[in-house]
Amino acid sequence: MSNMGRRDFLRTGLGLGGLVLSSSLSRSWAQSGDPIRIGLIIPLTGGTSQFGATMGQAAKIAETEINSAGGVRGRPIQIVIEDDQSNPEAAVRAAHKLIDVDKVVAIGGSYASAVTSAIAPLCWEGKTVLLTSSGADSITKLPHQGYIFRTSPTVTLQGTRVGDFAVELGGKKMFFLGPQTPFAQSYIDIISSIFKAAGGSGSGLIYEDKKASYRSEVDQALKESPDVIVLGGYVPDTSVVLKDLYRAGFSGQKVGFSFGINDALTKAVPAEASNGAYSLVPSASENSDAYKRLVGKMKLSHLDSYSCQVYDHVVLASLALAHAPSGKVDGTAVRDNVRAISQDSEGKRTDDAVEALKLAASGAHVNYDGPSGALEFADNGDVKGVFFRYEQVEEGKLVVRKIG
């Protein structure tokens, strides 16, 4: 130290300080780049809002996980949530804002089919990936240039399952009651044809939602003396239809879908009116660790499939960008790399988003399976291999009858 002059000491000190400073800076830079924005259009209000809140929470958990693992390409991701108000017009305004102002790389959520159909053209025109949890078959038939990925089973698949199940219950005459949606007529056609093939018959009626009473619609349905009524509505209208069916003394089977007959519905109608109604529920991957971890982080005992899907929307978009060989961060890079990280047969299978992110960032092959399922997509963007739960209302509570 004695032969080290004052200047040398200062120089060394400055150098060391600079080193420490630069390393700490580079670490914070890793997270301080402009955030990569991922949009969410979810129903927080309105008739389809039963899962909206948990969808948002699940997406936030995905955001936290990705960011605590260092983000994507050194940049944090940021979720921008917009409420579609269960209304396609509001959804279109939200999509414009997300694409043009926030410059998101992908839009997730997108639950009601009417909402998804309305915003889909904006997404592919804006070269933004649309990850949707809606069912209408028409959505992936659009000329979407590969920008649409659907994590929910299609209407045809759900309709077929409901039709088969109703025949299994011994139904001969089916009547469909549901509101005007992009899939209502398809349901009537699909389920009726299943009944005809089984030697029975089927017909249906499409009603207007937002009514205080469906007595006349129920009267029209009962005139056909059906032994199975398929309920194709969302919770607010299905709850009124169930009450009116009870009042009218209908004693046949009632079968519906998870967006109409669910926990929210059982709270909305007296048990007498809902008892015995069956519900077809697209099942999340409930035995997977991914599902258990997500449910644990949300401090819940059970989570619907749709919220799991929205979690996966965020993870899929992040992993795709982390993997993209081009290093670009835009919607096209997401589109081109989703399949590479979700269904690479040579990739390391993992259901942990953080592990998958590290693998993808290091350039390794990865095959991510999320809490919503195995996430393998057909060429048109539809998800493959979906499980369903068949539940029935018993004493005002939903009970699982079978899984298949």
Q: Which residues are at the interface with other proteins (CB under 8 A)?
A: 44-47, 49-50, 52-53, 180, 205-208, 210-213, 215-217, 219-220, 235-236, 239-240, 243, 246-249, 264-265, 267-270, 272-273
Query: Judged by CB, which is closer to other proteins: 200, or 260?
Result: 260
DSSP string, 172-213: SEEEEEEES-TTHHHHHHHHHHHHHHTT-EEEEEEE-SS-S-
* Shortest Å distance, C-beta 363 to other proteins: 44
Q: How far is the CB of 217 from other proteins (least distance, A)?
A: 6
C-alpha to C-alpha distance for 104 and 349, rounded to whole angstroms: 28
- Between 247 and 384, name the residue whose CB sits nearer to other proteins: 247
Name which of 271 and 364 has its Cβ closer to other proteins: 271
Q: How far is the CB of 163 from other proteins (least distance, A)?
A: 22
Q: How far apart are CA 76 and CA 209, in angstroms?
A: 42
Rounded least distance, CB 193 to other proteins, Å: 21
CB of 114 to other proteins, least distance (A): 14
How big is the chain, counted in residues?
404
Q: Does an H or E element contain 221, and which? A: helix 215-223
Q: How far is the CB of 211 from other proteins (least distance, A)?
A: 7
Token pair, residue 162, equals 């409901």
According to DSSP, the residues that pair with 175 across neighbouring strands are: 203, 229
Distance CA 97, CA 88 (A): 14
Nearer to other proteins, 102 or 209 (CB): 209
Contacts 24+ apart (CB under 8 A), 164-168: 164/194, 165/255, 165/278, 165/280, 165/390, 166/191, 166/194, 166/195, 166/228, 166/230, 166/253, 166/255, 167/194, 167/195, 167/198, 167/200
370, 290 Cβ separation under 8 angstroms: yes
**Token match 């409930």: residue?**
286
When the beta carbons of 54 and 152 are compared against other proteins, the nearer one is 54
Nearer to other proteins, 206 or 354 (CB): 206
Are 238 and 216 in contact, with CB atoms under 8 Å apart?
A: no
CB of 82 to other proteins, least distance (A): 15
Quote the least distance from Cβ 251 to other proteins, whole Å: 11
In the complex with other proteins, which residue's Cβ is closer, 52 or 171? 52
Smallest separation (angstroms) from other proteins to the CB of 87: 11
Please, which residue, 265 or 375, has the CB nearer to other proteins? 265
SS (H, E, C) 320-338: HHHHCCCCCCCHHHHHHHH
Q: Quote the least distance from Cβ 50 to other proteins, whole Å.
A: 7
Q: Is 281 helix (H, G, I), strand (E, B) or coil?
A: strand
Residue with smaller CB distance to other proteins, 247 or 397: 247
In the chain the first and final C-alpha atoms are separated, in Å, by: 78
CB nearer to other proteins: give 192 or 285. 192
**Quick one: which of 250, 372, 258, 376 has its CA closest to 307?**
372
